[in-house]
Amino acid sequence: MHGLCYKSFVLNVKKKTGDVIMGSSSNSKINIMILYYSYSSQTKNLLQAMTDGMEPYPVSVLLQRIEPVVPQHFPFGSIPKTFLKMLLTFFRQRVPIKPLPEQCFQHYDLVILAGPTWSYNPSGPILALFDRDGKKLFKEQLVLPLISCRGYWRMHWWGLKALLTKCGATVPNLIVFSHPSKEPWRTIGVFLKLAGKVPERMSWLKKHYHKYGHTRVQLVEARKFGEQIAEVLIKGGDPGRIDFKTVPALYSKS
């Protein structure tokens, strides 16, 4: 289950594909699909908190991980490999993915499409998803993107929204979680982490860069957003009216 742990609301788990269906009851009227790719577990952790927030509500959630055909190992392991990957992803390199289960192609009350920013763009697995399944997945769906990023997310957002709109989706809102450290330390720290270093322990950097990834405060926010999404959908409201502003976003220069 890729590190996700649920209680009595787990109705079905397929470990091979990583999909989890949950809800307060099997007859839930509100159906949500969370389709995600997570490279370094940051997106996965946010979604774990978000689904925890949905737990008390009468909603059914399909949580489906996008799986690359060739596993993408974290970290890249060296500075040259990191530079090369950044260059390739800047030019929107696709990463081939495994087929999705058939239940992903049903109609849902809401689809949450979640993943990291790779060099200002959606990740390679998500781009490959659009190439292969975009129209079949997203046509006439209400889609809420969730972006996990270092901080520079706007190009990712514009490109993702354009792809979704081209596929016939309605995109009412956006959730962005950026790493909270200030620049330039955030960029330096993330680069070194991807290269296999430990920036949190480097004497010249650790006072400025305390932790890679998202904070506990952000996980609390993600849980709150899960609660708000479930409550709004149950009441027949518009997810576009939810205020998804996060505290660390105040530090973003995007």
Give me the residue label for tokens 């490959």: 128
Q: Where are the domains of the chain?
A: 10-251
CB count within 10 Å of CB 65 equals 24
C-alpha–C-alpha distance, residues 223 and 217, integer Å:
10
Per-residue pLDDT of the chain (254 residues; tens, 9 = 90+): 333 333 323 333 333 344 554 554 445 589 999 999 999 889 999 999 999 999 999 999 999 999 999 988 888 889 999 889 889 888 889 999 999 999 999 999 999 999 999 999 999 999 999 999 999 999 999 999 999 998 788 999 999 999 999 999 999 999 999 988 888 888 888 888 888 898 888 998 988 888 888 889 999 999 999 999 999 999 999 999 999 988 654 444 33
CA 15 to chain centre: 19
In tens, the pLDDT along 93-144 reads: 999 999 999 999 999 999 999 999 999 999 999 999 999 999 999 999 999 9
User: Does domain 10-251 bear CATH number 3.40.50.300?
Assistant: no
**DSSP codes, 59-100:** EEEEEEE--BSS---SS--SHHHHHHHHHHHHTT----BPPP
Q: Per this entry, what is the length of the chain?
A: 254
C-alpha–C-alpha distance, residues 118 and 114, integer Å:
13
How is residue 95 written in tokens? 């990463």
Give me the residue label for tokens 């590190």: 3
Decide: 93 and 207 in contact? Cβ < 8 Å.
no
